[in-house]
Amino acid sequence: MSKLRAIIHVDMDAFYAAIEELDHPPWRGLPLVVGELGPRSVVSTASYAARRYGIRSAMPTLAAQRLCPQALFVPVRMSRYREVSAEVFGVFAEVSPEIEGLSLDEAFLDVTRSLRLFGGEVERIGRYLKQEIHQRTGLNASVGMAHNKLLAKLASELSKPDGFLRIQPDQVHAVLDPLPVGRLWTVGKVAEASLHRLGIHTVGELRFAEPRRLLQACGNQAALWQRLANGLDERPVDSAAEEKSVSAESTFVTDLTTLDQSLSWLAQLAERVGERLRAHGLQGRTVTVKLRKPPFETHTRQLSLPQPSDSTDVLLDAGRELLRRWWAAEKSPSLRLLGIGMSQFAPVPQSGLFAAPAEQGGRDQLADRINRKFGRGSLVRGVVLKSRKPGPEES
């Protein structure tokens, strides 16, 4: 039998809302919703006090207000959340290089090779993570530990908030069997409904279901689900997973009805994407523009670059061309959402010893340094100023 792995899943508690409470102490304990009120806004995160009223992520903010009229609604501050996330991931890197980030506030760590440094106990590593994250950021993390990813994630979920739980190999069935079948990885709402029609409501019932009947009713996923129901999961922690794309988008309270407005917003979004590309050492070949007409008709347009680039101007020129083409083809163009992104990344080539610095690259790097020092938006293209009106919900 192969040696069991030591896997940790860390999930920050109500991350965005917790940061807002940390930065604004009078808000602590209030039903707080991250997401501005508006007909097209949704909840990004809700504090635990707000969740008691039934408020959940991705819910329209107006629906959240109906559930809790006294709730405090605050705007998303993504740059601040990324800043705290970097501190959290810095703690992860102190215990293992094998980190699979799932989002700004969630990650898997394979700490199998780190056990000897912590006396052979995964719980000591888990406690170190919790304590260091809290000491450095003031925030609580829920930590789940097990011998695979499925069980480690369940452990953190079951112990939230401020959780700390290890699922031992001999506890797997005791923990899994009573859970609703929808708690398993890959079992979504449609799959859950299919299993319910077979009379399967718990993970234990799925584990003991007759495989042939399950296969006939649910298809090829049936075998995977039964393996998961038995607590089996061989997925590795994928620390080499690369970003497939870098993008930014905004949803508007009032539709954009002129090309001039739209180009201005596109420039602001392109600056954000360009800055992120350079920060991560990425150069891409494919530019994508996302356009959503009211009410919910979404279009995407793509353009391939002759060579990989991280230049904001190159990105913006391609995006402008795509936007103008789409605008000209529409009878009555208007936009409720606009986005731009870069994908198909290639390695950044190393400059030759005597290569002259590219003028545009120098301008971009200078702008990045100024914006890092004085805050995003301190130095922008003039066209961006036309977009600076309240109301968009950005991501």
Report the alpha-carbon distance of residue 89 to residue 82 in Å, rounded: 10
Asked if residues 200 and 212 have their Cβ atoms less than 8 Å apart, the reply is no
First to last CA, the chain: 46
Q: How far is CA 311 from the centre of its chain?
A: 24
350: burial class by Cβ within 10 Å (0-12, 13-18, 19+)? exposed
Query: Is residue 73 classed as helix, strand or coil in its secondary structure?
Result: strand
Hey, what amino acid is at 124?
A: R
Report the alpha-carbon distance of residue 97 to residue 110 in Å, rounded: 8
- Identify the helix (H) or strand (E) that includes residue 271: helix 259-279
User: In Å, what is the CA distance from 344 to each residue of 260, 287, 305?
Assistant: 29, 9, 10
Bridge partner residues of 202 (DSSP)? 180
Burial 372-388 (b: 16+ CB within 10 A, else e): eeeeeeebbeebbeebe
Six token digits for residue 174: 């005791």
Examine the residue annotation and report whether 106 is marked as an active-site residue of this protein. yes
Does residue 23 have a known ligand-binding role? no
Asked if residues 303 and 284 have their Cβ atoms less than 8 Å apart, the reply is no
Report the alpha-carbon distance of residue 137 to residue 131 in Å, rounded: 10
Does residue 310 have a known ligand-binding role? no
User: In Å, what is the CA distance from 370 to each residue of 17, 45, 315, 367, 381?
Assistant: 28, 30, 20, 5, 13
Residues 20, 100, 106, 275: which is the catalytic one? 106
Decide the pairing of beta strands 283-293 and 297-309.
antiparallel
Asked if residues 97 and 114 have their Cβ atoms less than 8 Å apart, the reply is no
Show binding-site residues for Mg(2+).
11, 105
Q: Hey, which residues are catalytic here? A: 106
